[in-house]
Structures are given as structure tokens and as C-alpha cells.
Structure 1
Amino acid sequence: MFSNQFLLLLGDWRGFGDISNRNSRDILFGAATAAHQIEGAWDEDGKGPSMWDKFVHDNQSRTADGQNANIACDSYHKWSEDIEIMKRLGLSIHRFSISWPRIMPNGTPNKINQAGIDHYKTFINALKEAGIEPLVTMYHWDLPQYLYELGGWLNEDIVNYFGDYARVLFKNFGDDVKFWATLNEPKSTCLVGYGTDTAAPGLNLVGDGVYRCAKVQLLAHAKAYHIYKDEFAATQNGKVTLVLDTPYNEPATNSSLDQYAAEVENEFNLGWYANPVYLGDWPEIMKTRVANRSQLEGYSFSRLPAFTQEEIDYVKGTFDYFALNIYSGTLTSYADDFPIGEPNFYLDKGMTNTHGEDWTPSTVSWLYSYPPGYLSNLLDAITEDQVNVIGYTLWSLLDDYEWTDGYTQKIGIVQVDFDSPNRTRTFKKSAEWYQNVIATRCLVDECVE
């Protein structure tokens, strides 16, 4: 059907209204994209290089097909066609990211690229004219290369650079953008980018760098949030959060040990970032497990860097709504602590995960290795659990550049012909199906009314 990654927006008590007075027509149905994955024009109109540009240009074998994102879907030039596609689908919200190096070529406020600002202003205005609400992601894995060379997400100075970038975005686009997401999937960009050598920046720091990256990203998110609240919220009246991602972790059995394992797995996935933002500080189980293993590994300190009380207070509560990306689920089993050896995030959490026997693989994409049904469960959450669901954006609007998979994964609901210089767009059956869901608010015979 389509990729089961989606953005789910959930309202909290700060102003989204009472769900008892809402119906299906209030839910914002949309689709998502990311700048590096669709825009192309990688060095046009003053844009600087991102760390992904450098990472792939230096070694084309880093992607499955040896391709890069220099052109991608060419959406930098074909954005108006993309909006027509959104209108045809009936979307009421569109989640997209702004390219940091297109606004600030080297990531610093020393040089602001007006051409980049003008491009996004035009795009946002066109979305609004089409009746489509923009949800803007400020960072989707395309760190300016210059800032990476300064240490990237391991350098706490990036917190202030990100704050300066956020201020430019709020100043230029805040009158028209009411939904902001500071960071997309910070866990994944840290764990995959800093925890492996296969994705940018490819440092393979799975024992300590992933935790350092997480702390810096959370402080950067909080910096942007406070800038908005202190300088812009009173006049712009928007909402800010970060977008988290997690699998759903089901205990493999009913045993108390497997139930504990699923809880630990949830804390090391969702809790890693959600706990500091929504409750304050790292999850206790993370602090305990990483500290214990660090000591046994010979460290005099925990590899999970501690927040000061001032930092805990600064990060806590930096959200106006809850945004979640979901890909898959796992069956989680308890495992005795792994032997002490090389420090490793996965050994720190110490659980084992499998998929159920009925979750058969598909030749289409690794994202399809489980049956569909997220919208059906979302419907249950609304009707049975009275969850205040604000919106849903599926990934992805277009076939795009899927990072290390290049163009081998075709997970958009709209096909893009990457062999054509025109990057021809064609509706897939999934687009037609989604178009009908939006129009009717029905999943087969299930409707939200």
C-alpha cells in the first residue's frame, strides 16, 4: 500500500480543543517529504553543501545504487507540480523540511542566502493559497558541512548555531507557519549517523558518540523552542515540538521478564528523547544500565552524559504537541546482560527483538515486512480511546532519495521516474486509495464520524 512510517499529531491541554466536540473532518490528512530527499539543486542559488552531500560525493559506494541527491525529484524546480498533486489528493496538511544549508550556506548567521528564503516563502504561500497547512521541519539530517567539520552534533556550540538558524526561520516564515518541528527523528540521526559507518557522518561511535549526540540535539531543540516562546509566540501563535520515532515493542510472552524487557526497549527508544522533553531527564533505567556497564568497562563516569539540573529544567516541557513516527513493531524478549566488551548502545539496553511468524517479508521494501493497519488502529484510538488526534501525514508523497538506499526503495504514493530528465510523476494505486480515504474518511467500511 504505502510506507507505514507516518507522523501522528496529538494535542495536549495547551489549546487544541476538546475531542468530544471534534469529528473526522477536523483531522488533518497529509503527506511528508524532506528537503535533501526530494529537492535536488544541491548547489544552486547559493545553497551550501550538507554533510550528506559530502558523504556521498566522496564515495559513491555508500549508497545501494551509487547515486546521490544532486537532482533527486527536482522538487526545487517542480514544487508547483507537487502542490498540484497535493491538491488532487485532497491533502489538508503537508510536512516538509527546510534545508539548513540552503538558508545558511555554511550553517552560520554570517551569511544568509536570500534566494533560499525567497524559495521557501514562495512555496509556503502557494501551499496556503491551495488550502494546505504547512508543517515545517527545521532539521531533517542535512547538517551544513561546515558545522559538521566543527564537530557537528558532538559539539555543544551547535546548540547556539541551531538557535540562530531557528530565529531566521521564525522571523521569515513564522507569520504563515503555525506548526513547527525542530528535529526529525533525532534518535535515528544519532544512532544511524553517529553509531554506524554507513550513513552520514559515518563515525561509528555506537558506545558513546550516540549519547553525546542525543544530549546536544535535545539542547538544540530546547534552544529553538525557547527562542520561539520568548521572541515570536505572542505575535505568531504557532506550536513547536520535535518529531520522535519508535517501534512498537510487544513482550514476546506474558512472562514478567519479557514484560520488563519491552519496558526497557521502550525507554531506550521512545523514552530516550521523550523523557527529557515531556518528563525531565533521561529515563532512570537508561541512566542505571549505562552507568553500570560503563563502570564495568573501566570508565570512571557514565557514557550517558548527565544533564545538570539547569539543563533538565531547560529541556523539560519544550513541546506544544506530540509528534510520532512509527515504522514497525517487535516482539521483545529478556536477555541476561551481555558480556562486557566494547561499549555499545545495543548491549546497554540488552534485550533481543524478533518479528512474529505472521509478519512475512515483502520484495517491495523492508518497510513492508508487516501487515498494514495503522490507519485502522488510529481510528480505534480516536473512537475507542478518545485520543485527540490532530493529524496524520504518511511517508512519503513521492518516491525519493532514500539515504543509503539511494533510489532502490520506491516508497512514495506517487511514482517518480528518475530515468527521465522531467522526473515524471505518476499516481500509484496507493495514491488513489489515500485520495479516497481523505475524501470519504472511510477505511473500507470503517468511518470516523
Structure 2
Amino acid sequence: MMNFSNELRDELDEIEAAGLTKRERLLTSPQGAHITTVQGPALNFCANNYLGLANHPEVVAAAHEGLDGMGFGTASVRFICGTHTQHRELEKEIAEFLGTEDAILFPSAFDANGALFEVLLGNEDAVISDSLNHASIIDGVRLSKAKRFRYENRNMAELEQCLKDAQGSRRILVVTDGVFSMDGYIAPLAEITALAEQYGAAVAVDDSHATGILGSHGAGTPAHAGLSDRVDIVTGTLGKALGGASGGFVASTGEVVELLKQRGRPYLFSNAVAPSLVAGARTALRLAREGDDLRERLTKNAEHFRSRMTEAGFDLLPGSHPIVAVMFPGEDGARQASAIAEDMLKLGVYVIAFSFPVVPQGRARIRVQLSAAHSEADVDACVDAFIASRDRVAHR
């Protein structure tokens, strides 16, 4: 065991020497635009709290009611004795929200993607995945015995070639993120669905970074593209715009949902989502559906941040989503991004640097995530901190 530990220590030392160590920062307050860390108060620009619902008083009150009425936990998986009436109510509400026949809850969106491919696809089938899809999709696909194809991010010529290569398979499933979490790019669903229909494939979208944000009433990228009736499966999370707690879902036809209930391992072998989280998520979902004003504020904040950062000479990936990647390319980019993020916390702005293996080598970045809870003054303070920290790091 000593040799094993020493080998792991060597690997950790290599990660540290490359400037790639990821460190947790401890919060001492609820999630929000303004938080407190052990280092002191800070503006938070790295949460998935897009609509500002993570500590919304109505969501918190609903969670308290769920806790008081249904207890702390289910102590069971769903099919034994872990299904409360509100689990089914939330599933129905998600399905109605997204325009599908039914939905099924999982402990996390990672589990939802972990269940999907193994259940639906066998060795006679094919799955085609975008190269920048989330790790949960990659891991879920690995669990499947299907033939695997991959196309470069949003490259429709490569997708079409994959579809041609997959012909003769019993089932073909194209899977893409709705919004790519490290870049803020929105998937070209119109082109994807058109190609899928041409070659007889189904389409699945992981909409974790779009549900509640994009489309009519926040119904996600299929609604944003006007294609809700042409996307076969939507997976998503309760852990971002919809209250920011935990839990995930698959929304699709009744047959897909029922088969996942019968064979989805994360559903069959994991405790049901806790009652307080279900109750809070139901309220968060209602607030999101009614939250056009929140989405308008979120859009304005993202536009203002992009405009000011561009004027200040920062390298931003293009887009309109509230995920904004501030790029630090090259061999020294990871160190530079990490140093600037650390310095910004001293100025009271909390952002996180991302580097390999979370993003490709040489493509380090600080991912900024805007929220409807931020004021214009908050956004200006974030930009000012970027400028000041860039200058301070450059002169060290």
C-alpha cells in the first residue's frame, strides 16, 4: 500500500507542477450573487444559479414544507417504497414544461445520462456523440454495447458521415449537449434534427445548461430552436437554473420512460430524490416558467459583461449564453488563468479557472457565469477585477 500511495503522490505532484491542481474554496453562506467564503465576502460569478433561485425565499419555504411533511429522506429506491406522490407530480410537471409524454427523476443528471444509453442501445445499435459532450454522456455511452461514433463539435459534415457509417444499425441515436458547458456554445439543433431525420436516427439532448434559460418560458434549446416536437429525448438537471439543488431527469415518450423504470440501474439502485428537494424543485420550476423577467435580466447582464470585457481587450469565445469563456490560450495559459482567478478573489470576485483535463490542453479559461441575481454594478465590479488582476499578475 505504501508503494501505491507513493505512486499516487508522484502523480499529484505532477498535477501541481503543471499548475493544474483544483482546490475547493469553502463557502460560509447560502448560494447567491453575493456570498461569503472563508476568505471573506465575494461576488459570485461561477455558479450555475442562472435565475437566482438557489436561495429564493419561495423555494426555501417549499423545501421546508417538504421536509416537515415528508421527512428527511426516502430510505428506499423508487420501486420499493421510495415514491411519494410529489415525485410523480414533479415528473408530470417536467414533461408538461418540455412538451413530452412523461419524465423520470434520477438522483442527478449524471445518473440520468448514466442510465439512458445502456437501457436503450445494444450491440446492434449505434450512438453518435459530439466531441465536447459532457462527461456524463461520455461515461453513459461507455456503458452501452452500441457502436460508437464521434464528430467534432458542431461539425455537421462529420455528423453526416457518422450517420452514413452507422447505417444498417437497428437503432441510431445522435446525442448532443444543448449548451456546451465550457464554451457557452448552443448546439445547432435545426441541422442535427434534419440530418437525423434524413438518416433515420433519433436525437437526444442534454439540456442541463439551457433548461429554465433558453426558449419560450425557459423550455430549453429545443424550444429555442422551435424544434420541441423533433427532439426525441431530453435529459436535464434540477441542480442549475431550477433551484440549484440536486436531481436529474429524462423526458421523452412513455415507452422510453417506462423502459428506464424497468432497467435503468441508477433508478433501480439509488435512493429516490429527497422530499425537500422535490418540493423545492417544483416551486423553482414554476418560478422558472413564469420568469420571463428573470431571463430578460440574465440576457442583459451577459450582453453587458461581454461588451465591457471585449472593450478591455480580453479574449472571449463568441456567443449569447450566460456562460462566458474568458480564454488564456497557450502553454502558460493554465498558470495565468489560475493566478488571475486567485487574485480576483482577493478583490472580492469569485471565479474559477479551468484547465486540462476539464478542457483541452492549451485552452485554459476562466468560465464566468452570469445570473439574473447580479446587478449591473455587480457585473461592472467583476470586469474591473478582471482588469486589475490581469495587470497585477502581468507585473509579478
Question: TM-score per shorter chain, which class?
Answer: under 0.3
TM-score normalised to structure 2 length? 0.25
TM-score by length of 1: 0.23
